[in-house]
Amino acid sequence: MINKDNNSKIDILSLTLDELTDVVSELGEKAFRAKQIFQWLHQKRVRTFDEMTNISAQFRAKLQDYFCIKSLFVCKRLESDNDNTVKYLYELEDGNHIESVLMEYNHGNTLCVSTQVGCKMGCRFCASTIAGFKRDLLASEILLQIYEAERDSGRHISGVVLMGIGEPLDNYDNVINFLTLLSCPEGANISLRHVSLSTCGLVPKIYELAKLKLGLTLSISLHAPDNKARSEIMPVNDRYDINELMKACHSYFETTGRRISFEYALIDDHNDSFEDAQKLAKLLKNFICHVNIIPVNKIKERNFKSDRKSAYRFQKYLDELGVNATVRRTLGADIDAACGQLRREYEI
Ligand code: SAH
């Protein structure tokens, strides 16, 4: 569970309070010290051990020997003129880049975070996958996207969506660790009720996640109502087809009692007809869920397109068929706020 960097120092920001408590007692210190250190890191957000002034100089030196405090650097910041959306390009310590998007809603600020450097899933319409997969993010690197966005913007973040670069369920252990850290009362203390996790449909991991009963909202990137249309745009459908996926979704709902949200990126002439809406309605029949229609964001490497007018038309179809659906608000359209597009400019 404990991640070590090149110098074999322990990545302290990835340790849960329980793990930190164990390590601190191994080092011969009282358990309450772990809580103090945890609060310095996750609430006061210090970047050096020397700033932990209620810890003795001797123990701080020991901490310095055993642990490292990871950091992220704001490499580029794009601010929207239309709304309060801010897009961050972060540089990781190893020189890789990831993106986060800060969005303002009525109920507060939400950050869309990345979970991997690149992505293996290969969805045809997605910019995150084009440069390929580099590596998983550590729990600390997911968390730091929030800490740095708060520090940089001066805005308080109360919600998180795991919808940036990467497939969260393909980096399962680090993501679960991140969620534990995020919701810890001695840390950022963000309730998992304000967290959404989006997956392209890694079925075995959906069952695993259900067992944890975390209270977050699960979003499924469905994007097509039948196997043929889905396989054409999402290679993951050849591993876990729609039937298996829907079975996992029903089981998730039964286990957790949480309503699932289905993402549907509308693509002209691919999945936007009345017949598609009928198939979707049949698929979701008797299922307590919500469909989020997103006009596909144009990426320069592909020809897929759609617009808000088609999205509202498709919503009307679904409405007539009794399916609860909304068209996702477009935020930061002037800064290309869709994930993966900024990082692409930095990858050779
Ligand atoms: N890998 C996860 C989460 C990251 S993508 C997943 O697949 O769900 C977050 C959401 O953005 C997914 O629903 C994804 O399918 C969607 N998405 C990616 N590229 C898009 C684009 N060009 N237009 C609209 N939605 C897109």
Strands 116-118 and 108-112: unpaired
Residue 339 scores a pLDDT above 80:
no
Angle between helices 274-283 and 308-320 (to 10 degrees): 50
pLDDT tens-digit readout, 127-144: 888 888 999 999 999 999
Residue 4 scores a pLDDT above 80:
no
CA of 21 to the centre of ligand 1 (A): 38
| Mean pLDDT across 224-239 | 98
CA of 285 to the centre of ligand 1 (A): 24
**pLDDT grade for 348, boundaries at 50, 70 and 90:** very low
| Sequence-ordered list of residues with C-beta below 8 angstroms from that of 31, at least 6 positions apart, any chain | 21, 24, 25
CB 10 within 8 A of CB 68: yes
| Percent of the chain surpassing pLDDT 70 | 94
* Ligand 1 neighbours by CB, cut-off 6 Å: 121, 123, 125-126, 163, 167, 198-200, 221, 263, 265, 294, 296-297, 299, 338-339
Strands 116-118 and 133-136: antiparallel
Whether the full predicted model's pTM is greater than 0.85, yes or no, is yes
Q: What does pLDDT average to over the chain? A: 93
**pLDDT grade for 329, boundaries at 50, 70 and 90:** confident
pLDDT tens-digit readout, 281-307: 999 998 989 999 999 988 877 889 988
What is the chain's alpha carbon radius of gyration, rounded to the nearest angstrom? 21
From 9-23, 124-138, 220-234, the region with the lowest mean pLDDT: 124-138
Nearest CA to ligand 1 atom 9: 163
